[in-house]
Amino acid sequence: TGFDEYVQLCSIYISLTLIVALSLTVRLHFSMRKKERKNECLRGKNRYREDARKLKSRIIAAQAGLYFGVFVCTYFFALISQIQTLLLGTYNFPLYVLGAFMISLQGVLNLFV
């Protein structure tokens, strides 16, 4: 039916989004570590500048991690309900309501990040 195809497409979309977000976060982490190792031999003013950049990069990386965490937390229940629908063929109404509530709450949680 059309609804089942829609549910399957949504599940694929959410799964791909999570995979891309996780891979970008891991790539950012290793990129920062590589640059830190490269800059360890600097001295004086250059060292001071790089330390300031490193601090700013860490702050941005922490914020990106928090955004990703909020994304995972808010879409968790929706993803679980979609997986349950696909695998078992049953609809759990309280889980759907909780998923809709959490997705609506994502903007508020991003505001605090």
Predicted confidence at residue 70, as pLDDT, reads 92
* pLDDT score at 1: 62
Distance CA 58, CA 96 (A): 36
21: amino acid identity, one letter: A
Mean pLDDT by 10 residues, the chain (113 residues): 75 85 87 80 80 86 89 88 82 86 88 85
* Selection from 75, 80, 104 nearest residue 91 by Cα: 80
Distances (CA, A) of 1 to 6, 7, 11, 14, 26: 9, 10, 16, 20, 38
Using alpha carbons, list the distances in angstroms from residue 96 to 62, 92, 101: 30, 6, 9
